[in-house]
A and B are shown apart, each in its own frame.
Chain A
Amino acid sequence: MMSLKNAVKGIFFSILLLACFLTAGWGESWEDINRETAGIESIQAEFTQHKHLKILTKPLVSKGRFYFQKPDSIRWEYRSPVKSILLIHRGDVKRYTLGSRGMVEDSSGALSSMQVVVQEIGLWSQGRFTESTHFKAEIKGGKKREIVLTPREEAFAAIIARIVITPSPERKGVIRSVKIVESEGNYTVLDFTDVRMNEKIGEAVFRKAG
């Protein structure tokens, strides 16, 4: 049985994937998105994560790099403040974190996370965002379009209130930010830069932490 914590962790990475699929050029409707996602083979980008909390006077900033290779390989790598790498490849999920014993595998809940991720990827890679069992997706706004995801299940709604994805107005197909709102005053903003699409990424990137 998947724990809520692991499910949430999985969903977090699914959100990132959704954001990256949207970078491939998204339109005014789900049909446009569906059509455009067909051309994506790989994505890589730098990211900056700003964590806002009521308890903090300034956001906690984390930085790293993200890689995605179709159909479902991911490397989500933090460089600071803690070096940590999540690898998802061919159904295998592993996380390594730099600690007192060096770069060691964090074994908690990898399988459960993978199950959720793969489930969501399966839908989104086909542009079937509205079929997600976890989130209801909605395109909002006119010129300043946003995609708003709201949890379908009460259990998730208690943890994530909504997710707002904002596309870059300057560069077609690139998102400006992903905002994950947990509760009033507590939210995370992910900014992507140096987004590169359909460049070859070696398989080892998704298999090895080094």
Chain B
Amino acid sequence: MKRRMTISRLAFLSFLTILLASCVHVPDMLPLDSLTDRSVIEQCGRPFVKSPYRFVHAIEAGLPGGRTATLMGVTVVDPEAKSLHSVLMTLEGLVLFDGEYDGTLSVKRAVPPFDRDSFARNMMEDIRLLFLAPENTSAQAGVSADGSVLCRYRGKEGETIDVTVQPDHTWRIETYATPFERFREIKAGALKDGMPGELELRGYSAGRYTLRLKLVDAEPVSAAAQPAEDEADGG
């Protein structure tokens, strides 16, 4: 009796594994050659910032339990320095989080519940994935029947990063350890001059959450456009 139960349990697990495996969509891709198809593969760089940029977004955070909270976010991204500076604040302008990452993370200000180390780390990971190209530039690439270009990168922690640029130039980014262990998923849309008016990030690893970023302002950062010293006067 006990043996029969074990066999049926094993059979069920096998069935479940096959079922789950069959759910994984492996797109039919025509492999691209890194030399001859270089211009096509370069499309995978479209999502990422090429020069220092400053973004202001209205961020709608979807939290567990169906709750939502809307914040304003200011982000400065420098792809050469691989640095990020992010400020989160309430609509009324009260700063809840101010942090920088340039290889090491430094938090200048964090109001509870944004003062947890894990929050700062995860947030910087979110921003890095949204705006900065993967550090490992060598990618497996392919093009699908509908013309979408997919590039698969290996991340720093061994995770897989899939960047898919669709024919309408919108894109999707996914990171995962295995097809069953997804970390993040990003969808970009409402493009205007190549800039996404809307970004949606779904996080799966550190509690499930959704961030919908609506672009309010974007401008290149140059030395001449640095904040003036007198602006730093708090009055």
The interface of chain A, by Cβ under 8 A from chain B, is 3-5, 8-9, 12, 49, 51-57, 60, 62, 78, 81-82, 84, 97, 99-101, 104, 106-108, 159-161, 164, 179-188
Contact = CB atoms under 8 A, between A and B. Distances in A.
A181 B72 contact: no
B93 interface: yes
A9 B94 contact: yes
A15 B4 CA distance: 71
Contacts of B69: 106, 108
Contact of B74 (A60, A180, A187): A60
Interface stretch (B136-144, B146-154, B162-170, B224-232): B224-232
Nearest to A13: B92
Contacts of B127: none
Contact of A53 (B74, B113, B228): B74
A12 B92 contact: yes
A67 to B, nearest CB: 16
A56 B90 contact: no
Question: Which interface residue of A55, A108, A179 has the most chain B CB atoms within 10 A?
Answer: A55
B184 interface: no
A99 B69 CA distance: 10
A151 B93 CA distance: 18
A81 B235 contact: no
A102 to B, nearest CB: 11
Contact of A159 (B67, B87, B92, B111): B111
Contacts of B216: 60, 81
A159 to B, nearest CB: 6
Contacts, number: 116
Interface residues of B, number: 41
Contact of B231 (A62, A185, A188): A185
Contacts of B232: 54, 184-185
A179 B93 contact: no
A184 B94 contact: no
A184 B95 CA distance: 13
A183 B91 contact: no
B46 interface: no
A97 B92 CA distance: 13
Interface string B74-99: 10100000000101011111111010
B208 interface: no
Contacts of B225: 57
Contacts of B228: 57
B94 A12 contact: yes
B58 A185 contact: no
Given A181-B235, A185-B233, A107 B67 contact: yes
Contacts of B91: 62, 78, 82, 84, 97
A180 B93 CA distance: 9
A8 B94 contact: yes
A159 B54 contact: no
Contacts of B227: 54-57, 185
A116 to B, nearest CB: 13
Contacts of A56: 54, 56, 74, 227
Nearest to B66: A107
B93 A49 contact: yes
A57 B226 contact: yes
B235 A179 contact: yes
B235 A106 contact: no
